[in-house]
Structure formats: C-alpha cells, structure tokens
Amino acid sequence: MAKTIIVRYGEIALKSEPVRRRFERQLIENIKLSLKGLDYKLRREWGRIFIDTHRPSAAMKHLAKIPGIVSASPSLRTNASIGSIISAVVGETKKILSPGMTFAIRTSRVGEHPFSSRDVNVSAGSAVLAKVKGVRVNLSAPERKIFVEVRGKDAYVYTKIVEGASGLPVGTQGSVVAFFSGSLNSSVSSYLTMKRGCMLHLIFFDPRPRANGRTRKLAVGAARKLAGFYPKLELRIFPHGKILHTITERTTQGLANLLCKRAMVRAAGVIAGQVGGAAIVGDEDLKQIAEGGVKNLHVIDDACELQVLRPLAGMVKDDIEKIAHQTGIFDPFMRTTNTHPSPFYPTALKLEEVREIEEGLNIDALIESALSRIKIIKLRRSAWI
C-alpha cells in the first residue's frame, strides 16, 4: 500500500474542455511551486490529481492553501479488489475507532468492476465489526466515516476530507496590481483576488522610506503569509514619502487625502503597465466607502484608465476578520497597520479642479522619480518550509 493524497477541484470542472485542460495545467504548476523541495510523484486522472509522497502531513499543509483546490484527503492506495480494500479499511478503522463508537463506510467508483459500491460497504463493514470490538454501524449519523474511492485498477481509503481554498488557480485570470499596507483589509482583499485566479503584484506605499521601517516590516511580514497561497508572490516597496510630503504641505487635509489616493492609483497604473496588469485592487470596505463618499470614488478612479476593483466593498469588519481567521492570515497588528489616507475627502470640488491642483503640484514628475527607486522583495524565504 502507498500513501497518496487525493486532490479535488470544483469550478475548473465546469469549464469547456480546452479551458479545463489549461486550468488543470496551471493548478498542477501551482502545486509544484508549493511542494518544491518535497519528494513526491504527481499524476492526473479525470477530475482528480494524485500525489504520492512519504510526507502526506507536510504536503497537506500547503495543498490546503492553494487556490483552485476544493479539498484534499491523505489516503492509502491499494489494488481495486475486495480483499485489498477490506484490508486497508480495517487497518484505517483500527486507528480511529474505539469501543462504543459508530461508523459508516462510503464507497464511490469510477470504471468497470466485478462488484458494486454496496458490495464494498457491506463486506468492509462486516470485516470492521469482526476485527474492531465494541463498534456499531450507523449509516445516518456515524461518529466516524471511512471513505473508499475506487478508480480503475486502484482503490483509495481515507478518513479525512480537508477543505481547500477553492476558487480558481492563480494565473488563470490575468495579472492585477494591489494596494498593500499590511492591514487586515489589504491582506484579505489580496487573498480574495488571488482566490479568483488573478496573478497578484503587491505594492506597499512606504510613507517614510528613510525611517526605521516598522510599518514596512509589518507589511512584509503580512505579505509573507500571503505567499503561502502562491509562492511566487512579490512585494514592491514604492517610496511614497516625497509625494505625501508635497501634497500635505500644500493642501488642506481632506484634499490631501484625496490627492494622495489619486497619486497611489496613478502610480499603480504605471506599475500595472510594467507587469501586464489589467486592473488595480483597492482595499476599502463598506464603512470606508460610505465615509469617503461614493461620489469620490469616481474622482479617485479617474487618476488611471484601468478598472479599480474593490473586493471588500460589501463587507464590514466582522466579515473581513472572519475570512482572515479562516485562512490563517490574521494578525492583531493588522488592525492598526494602515499607511493609506483616511477616507475623509472634500465634496465640493469638481474633477476638473482636482486635476488643475495636481498639475500645480507636479504629481506626475514626483511619481516618475519614485518609480525608479522601487524595491522588489521576493517573499518565499525557502523552497520548502
């Protein structure tokens, strides 16, 4: 018997045949990235990816984070014969059952076999009752479930189904750039964007490039957590200090916030052009949009021709924190880490007036100067963790 992880996917299976094949190839490439350094063999069958490895527990920690994977199960692979299946089932049930517990066996099959799924359930269940004393069968509400998946000449026996990130494989939906401050909002909005299959390019607008860099370190730490979902993720450090100083010194607070946000959108648009990005990802939630005024979104988005996506537009803090906890990216520091302008904007100025003020501040030249000083941080520290 061999140790094999069964990897399942969902949305991919709904695509047309050519698209499905392309998405499957991308998912396999992403799995190889995450498992780089681990000894394993990967094979694909219709609707499933199988990974043979002697370290299933270590592999599972990474597989559960990969967008596109719905679930995964560490299993024992054996021959698709009644005798071999029974032996594997009995061995697994001895590990998880004790006297007084109830169990049920669930079997599914793909291909032609001289037995039915019910035959496997009855034969294996009878063997468990004979070998494990004091246990009972309960088909409606068992305390433990033993799954048998028969596919062609092989059979897989497992007792756990670990939920994955679901969604689509990163790289199947093009590239985008995202504002990233290391805050709770920026981490969750970035995660949701990757989960929808986008290749993400994170941008941290550093307000104090020459300072001790505490906010920068927090942003890098938060970004490293996101790299667990896609190891090729990079963080761009954009020196925003001079732009921020120029705007705040020469304008009022509300206008300064608006102009800073527009400068960030404009810089992100230029970076998107360099990396092939098709959109910009913002991290504003429902409350922030309401406080800043929906009308001001038009003024902010005007700074760039690209579409600005806001995955958190309909969410409140509780929703966002729940996702952060579920995905393992939550950090108490994220609640206070935010280098983006507060959503306090003037409501009287027209778009044409805002553009005129920007020209007087020479924002384009400041952005051009800052672009040449961007630093890129590769977030994956080692091939295998």
CA distance 179 to 207: 13
Per-residue buried b or exposed e for 75-109, using 16+ beta carbons within 10 Å of the residue's own CB: bbbbebebebbbbbbbebbeeebeeebebbbebeb
Q: Give per-residue pLDDT as tens, 128-181.
A: 999 999 999 999 999 999 999 999 999 999 999 999 999 999 999 999 999 999
Distance (Å, rounded) from C-alpha 78 to C-alpha 154?
6
Both structure tokens of 270: 């230029």
Give dist(CA 313, CA 309) in Å, integer.
9
The token pair that represents 92 in the structure block: 């697994």
Range(s) for CATH 3.30.2130.30 in the chain? 2-163
Full-model pTM:
0.89
Predicted pLDDT of residue 373: 94
175-378 folds as Rossmann fold (3.40.50)
Q: Which of 247, 307, 306, 227 is nearest to 66 (CA)?
A: 227
Low-confidence ranges of the chain (pLDDT < 70): 210-212, 333-349, 381-385
Closest CA to 145 of 96, 181, 109: 96
Burial of 3 (0-12, 13-18, 19+ CB in 10 A): middle
- The pLDDT value recorded for residue 383 is 44
Domain with CATH 3.40.50.620 in the chain: 175-378
Return the axis-axis angle of helices 82-96 and 117-131, rounded to nearest 10°: 50
3-state secondary structure of 100: coil
For residue 263, report the phi and psi dihedrals to the nearest 5 degrees: -65, -40
Cβ neighbours of residue 347 closer than 8 Å, sequence gap 6 or more: 293, 295, 296
Give domain 2-163's CATH number out of 3.50.50.60, 3.40.630.40, 3.30.2130.30, 3.40.50.720: 3.30.2130.30
* pLDDT tens, position by position, 197-252: 999 999 999 988 766 678 889 999 999 999 999 999 999 999 999 999 999 999 88
CA distance 309 to 290: 16
